[in-house]
Structure 1
Amino acid sequence: MTPTLRLVLRAPVSRRAWVELAYVLVSTPLAALGFAYVVVMLVLGAGLSVTAAGFPLLAAGLVGARRIGGLHRRLAGRFLGERIEAPARPVATPGPLGRMQTRLSDPAGWRTVAYLLLKLPVIALQVYVLALTWVWGVVAATRPLQNALGLNQEAPGSHTLFDNGALMCVGGVALLFLAPWAVHVATVPDRMLARWLLGRRGLEERVRDLEETRARAVDDAAAMLRRIERDLHDGAQVRLIALTMQLTMVRDAVTDDAARALVDTARATAKEAVEELRELVRGIHPPALDHGLDTALTTLAARSGVPVETEIALPVRPTAAIESIAYFCAAELLANAAKHSGASRIRLSLTQDGDRLCLRVHDDGRGGADLGGSPGGGSGLSGLLDRVRTVDGRLDVSSPPGGPTVVTVELPSHA
């Protein structure tokens, strides 16, 4: 017996045939449920879009659609062997409005809606093929048995092709051998739809996943630095201050000049350590940021050695990591302008357009700054460039000889 003939003869009793048959039977009610869910969601969402309930309903509906799509994805993996990687979940913008906007703009959610709409006609084709092959095959193959049991009594004088039990049995057996292949072919559109609409979309989804992973890493790093700052402020710094006070008490208690000199030296060293620790803490997380980036920048401008005019419009507060990056960029730019440019006035502006921040520092100095060096041979702007690149930010410098110098930093509102 040739391998091809053996494969044909074993098809009706093969595991694949029964698994695909089970897939059609199990996914049929789920497909009907998903189609009805999407239709109701779209009708109600569109009908209520003129009210405050329409868009929240659509946003919640997309979340439910993704969950139903997840059930279809697991069914395809379990019964059809389609290992489809789930699309990445979008990082929600803080706040109820931000979360709703994130869900409504989720392309994976809308692809799932398309799948649930297309799934019903696809499953209808599969059910039709199953009935035409498996059901009719069983009915025809058992025709002689039905005749023997008297289940097919015809009116006298009526003769049809179905009266020939042997011929029907042969046709039914042929259908049963054909059924596994027909159902397998009928599942091909379902497999293709699941891959295209329920899984990741190649490089685009991978890039988004990497962006979300980076955002979580940046936020975790910012939270860890914040914890370190609190530990240093509430722990080591407090103990050093207590040590300084104790050394002062020891100096007042001793009368020996040599001992007092040693205590004074130790006390001075402890004070220097406290100052250095305070500078370190401010470098990790400036206390002014606790009240928001706008307050922190206003405080920073007030401390500048050169008069600074501020223009800050920040309707939505950025994440902590973005606030920290923007603050340190502004601090470095103001320090460079005051130290190297010879400017008499500086203008600092911060605007927010959608999900992007634009920080701009303009001075009337002598110019000549670039990404390799500050005006007058300062420490340069390359460190700022490295800092903003960690969150896909941009740094642009316009500083012709003679000035003015304009440095623009663009950052996402959320890392």
Structure 2
Amino acid sequence: MEFIDLKAQYHTLRPSINARIRTVLEHGHYIMGPEVQELEERLSDYTGARHCITVASGTEALLIALMAIGVRPGDEVITTPFSFVATAEVIALIGAVPVFADIEPDTCNIDATLIERKITPRTRAILPVSLFGQASDMDAINAIADRHGLTVIEDAAQSFGATYKGRKSCNLSTIGCTSFFPSKPLGCYGDGGAIFTSDDDLAQAMREIRVHGQEQRYRHSRIGVGGRMDTLQCAIVLAKLDRFDWELEQRQHIAAQYDELLGHKVERVIQRPDRDSVYAQYTVFLDHREAVRDTLNKANVPTAVHYPIPIPLQPAYRHFTKEHFPVAAQMAQRVLSLPMGPYLDVYSLTRVADLLLRAKAHSTAQAVPPVAFGALDTVSNG
């Protein structure tokens, strides 16, 4: 069993993927070829954002967005302590300071009610993450930003295709950023990402930053990066985009089946009624996670932990704050993601749910004490 079955997806889409790749190989425009513009136009139409700028990765998308709004050394950006490290990494790379607000215990997204108290005269932006495939409370976050003259950048690396109050993720704030890492709901076969905005000036700035700050060839009007998405990767995303809505429906159908099979016996990430999820992961909460995970792994059921160490406890980030984030710390010990994807068959799904229920019941009966908070420092980020 695969955690995410990319091979099954390829076998289904092989004719269109191979045809797209062959076209690129024949025209030979490997950098900024016609597929780049085609993908940007289609993604812009899909999200409703006026502009889409494809870039080399989801991390590069966040970095370019921060550069475009003028974040500088010493500025502060408010974000979540519970995410992949890239969210805070790009802030630190610019020389700015990541300021963390704790998360909601049921969605694992940033708790919007905690953001405003984190704002200082040095705050420049808010960077919420749409974790596990579901958007944060973006209206509340945007309202806070409007009151304080801040920019909101949605880290939508896991939520492309999701909706919030009828609007698409990546078009919920001033800037949205996503990733096409292979395991994402819409992924390529390497690294890739995209930035979305309806602000013409920001779009122009981000296009220039993407190509080393060039406004025209060999004329560099701003500091930039080498951040282009390869034509081949754009071609692959284009091939997958034709089936993307069907795959999202399948992900939501599979999540509903998990919900039904697990019932009230297993806590899990809650989907709020005003939004949906693309289920980049199907994530449950367990008190004795490692015992359950060991049982599943012995039965050849792959699992993943996103994320075992909150960002403020990572060695490279401890100097940014001495504050404790109790919900993030608790979730880091409890979250477990199960096999998920549009090609997961009913037999495999049922087997995973059955094994999980048995393993949870056994671990509870054994009363294995959970990992102590102090032990987080020694947990491996595997």
Larger RCO, structures 1/2 (Cα 8 Å, 6+ apart): 2
**TM-score by structure 2 length?**
0.24
Query: Whose radius of gyration is greater, 1 or 2?
Result: 1
**TM-score by structure 1 length?**
0.22
Counting strand residues as a fraction of each chain, which structure ranks higher?
2
Counting helix residues as a fraction of each chain, which structure ranks higher?
1
